[in-house]
Amino acid sequence: MNHLPTPADHADGFLRFDAVSRVYGSGPTSVRALGPITLDIHAGELVAIMGPSGSGKTTLLSLAGALDKPTQGRVLLHGSELSALSPDDCSRLRRQTVGFVFQDLNLLPGLTALENVALPLELDGVAQIEAHDQAREALQGVQLLELADRFPENLSGGEQQRVAIARAFVGQRSLLLADEPTGALDSVTGEIIMQLLRDHCGRGKTAVVATHNSAHAAWADRVLFLRDGELINESN
Amino acid sequence: MSIRHGILAILAEQPAHGYWLKSHFEEYTAGMWPLNVGQVYSTLARLERDGMVEPVGEDDAGRQAWRITPAGRAALRAWYDTPVATGEARDELAIKVLLAIAGKRADAGRIIDNQRLATMQKLQQFTRVKKDTGADSDLAWVLLLDLLTARLEAEINWLDRCEQRLKGAGR
């Protein structure tokens, strides 16, 4: 059985794309969505990915989060090859190590902010009291503890994204993958979200964020430019 | 613009001598336009000639002080009331990209990629400064940073638009 990656497995090259390609379909109608790309993302880094629609940003995030498998090459997290993980280990990885944030529809409407953040821990078997304690700590990290008992519909778009970030990093989760997390927000609120991600990465978490907004991307340590599935430039 | 209106704007608040005008102009505008004192005194001389300022004697240190006249206040009001001419098309980057697209010898796509990278690096630099700028920082400095980052963001948006339009035109 494949063991689940832990931080001790690989001190550097936290997330590695080793000659990774993703091709959809086969034969003359096949479409190359990504690659081949080789890329190292280090623990504690905030990396932004920019590029036009269809450039491969979402494919890259899906591969990094083990939601998809490469056609060629290897994606390694903490030194473990994701496509070699069993389905159970993949699910566990997504509960314990990786958090996702999307443009919207991040939170379950019937749960409070606290319950939303605690959910991945409880699904992973953590007792409710302990899960809620860790969720409160995560909400504190996004300066939203005072709104812990509110339901998503009573939170602004920016507050909902902050709850989603808290959930993505709750407990021992160390990698956040975000697809246009500021896309539905005004410019200033978007900057607050990027600043929060910046702060979390300063405390050792790692985040990869796809965005169309250059001012938001500029909060990252590195900005990767994709075009037609290829990495064309890198700014740092 | 000349520094005439800058000097009038500061004298509209209170009479002042040349060095005080220089240091306060620089402070109020977050240091974006450093002045030398000689430049301030020559401008004061021209403003006096035009009836917009007048001398009010010397301070304890023997420095000549100046105050604004009603004509100076009218000129300042007219300046504040007139929008600045923005949106000038003549710009080195625009000219470079347009010439590259018009000709056949330059690779417009590469020029766009290189410029986008350079502009993003600059935007990251300013954003790092912004990150280190606390809530109690000088408001003038914060607003100037906002302006500089907004211009860089607009440049990247224009480069993205150029790339899309070139692609749409099959170039």
The distance of B123 to chain A (nearest Cα, Å) reads 6
Share above pLDDT 70 across residues of chain B, in percent, rounded to a whole number: 99
Tell me which residue has tokens 């060095």: B19
B46 and B26 part of one domain: yes
B28 touches chain A (CB under 8 A): no
B122 and B66 part of one domain: no
- Is residue B163 included in any domain, yes or no? yes
Rounded mean pLDDT of B20-24?
Answer: 94
CB-nearest partner of B124 from A52, A195, A235 = A235
Cβ neighbours of A236 in B, within 8 Å: 121, 124
Domain extent for B30: 4-81
Q: How far is residue A190's CA from residue B4's CA, in Å, rounded to a whole number?
A: 40
pLDDT digit string, tens, across residues A209-236: 999 999 999 999 999 999 999 999 999 8
Domain C-terminal end among B19, B53, B81: B81
Q: What is the mean pLDDT of chain B?
A: 89
Burial class of residue A11 (count of CB atoms within 10 Å of its CB; 0-12, 13-18, 19+): exposed
Share above pLDDT 90 across residues of chain B, in percent, rounded to a whole number: 55
Rounded mean pLDDT of B74-101?
Answer: 86
Q: Using the beta-carbon criterion (under 8 Å), do B120 and A235 form an inter-chain contact?
A: yes
pLDDT tier, A12 (very low <50, low <70, confident <90, very high otherwise): low
Q: Is the ipTM of this complex over 0.90?
A: no
- Is residue A50 included in any domain, yes or no? yes
- Is residue B123 included in any domain, yes or no? yes
Q: How far is residue A217's CA from residue A227's CA, in Å, rounded to a whole number?
A: 16
B153 touches chain A (CB under 8 A): yes
Share above pLDDT 90 across residues of chain A, in percent, rounded to a whole number: 67
pLDDT digit string, tens, across residues A120-147: 999 989 999 999 999 999 999 888 999 9
B117 and B138 part of one domain: yes
Domain extent for A130: 45-64+92-235
Domain C-terminal end among B39, B60, B81: B81
- Is residue B40 included in any domain, yes or no? yes
Work out the end-to-end distance of chain A between its first and last CA atoms, rounded to an integer number of angstroms.
39
Q: How far is residue A120's CA from residue A141's CA, in Å, rounded to a whole number?
A: 17
How many beta-carbon contacts under 8 Å exist across A and B?
A: 42
- Is residue A119 included in any domain, yes or no? yes
CATH code, domain carrying A219: 3.40.50.300
B107 touches chain A (CB under 8 A): no
B67 and B101 part of one domain: no
B21 and B45 part of one domain: yes
A210 touches chain B (CB under 8 A): no
Number of compact structural domains in chain A? 1
pLDDT digit string, tens, across residues A24-80: 998 889 999 998 999 999 999 999 999 999 999 999 999 999 999 999 999 999 888
- Is residue B87 included in any domain, yes or no? no
Per-residue pLDDT at A192: 86
Q: How far is residue A57's CA from residue A62's CA, in Å, rounded to a whole number?
A: 9
B97 and B136 part of one domain: yes
Per-residue pLDDT at A11: 46
- Is residue B86 included in any domain, yes or no? no
- Is residue A2 included in any domain, yes or no? no
Rounded mean pLDDT of B63-81?
Answer: 94
Domain C-terminal end among B47, B81, B115: B81
pLDDT digit string, tens, across residues A147-198: 999 999 999 999 999 999 999 989 888 999 999 988 888 888 888 889 889 9
CATH code, domain carrying B59: 1.10.10.10
Q: Using the beta-carbon criterion (under 8 Å), do B126 and A218 form an inter-chain contact?
A: yes
Q: Using the beta-carbon criterion (under 8 Å), do B149 and A215 form an inter-chain contact?
A: yes
Residues 52 through 81 of chain A touching chain B, CB cutoff 8 Å: 52
B61 and B126 part of one domain: no
3-state secondary structure of A74: strand
pLDDT tier, B135 (very low <50, low <70, confident <90, very high otherwise): low
pLDDT tier, B77 (very low <50, low <70, confident <90, very high otherwise): very high
3-state secondary structure of A49: strand
Rounded mean pLDDT of A101-109?
Answer: 85
Q: A34: which strand partners?
A: A22
Question: Parallel, antiparallel, or unpaired for β B64-68 and A98-101?
Answer: unpaired
- Is residue A206 included in any domain, yes or no? yes
B8 and B77 part of one domain: yes
- Is residue B73 included in any domain, yes or no? yes
Give kind and range of the element (H or E) at residue B110: helix B108-131
The distance of B90 to chain A (nearest Cα, Å) reads 24
Rounded to the nearest angstrom, the gap between the alpha carbon of residue A195 and the centroid of all alpha carbons in its chain is 16
Instruction: For residue B160, give the chain A residue with the closest CA.
Output: A52
Per-residue pLDDT at B101: 84
- Is residue B104 included in any domain, yes or no? yes
Q: How far is residue A192's CA from residue B34's CA, in Å, rounded to a whole number?
A: 32
pLDDT tier, A1 (very low <50, low <70, confident <90, very high otherwise): very low
> At A44, phi and psi to the nearest 5?
90, 0
Question: Any residues with CB less than 8 A from the CB of A70 and at least 6 apart, and which?
Answer: A20, A21, A22, A35, A63, A83
Per-residue pLDDT at A36: 95
Cβ neighbours of B164 in A, within 8 Å: 52
- Is residue A27 included in any domain, yes or no? no
Cβ neighbours of A220 in B, within 8 Å: 124
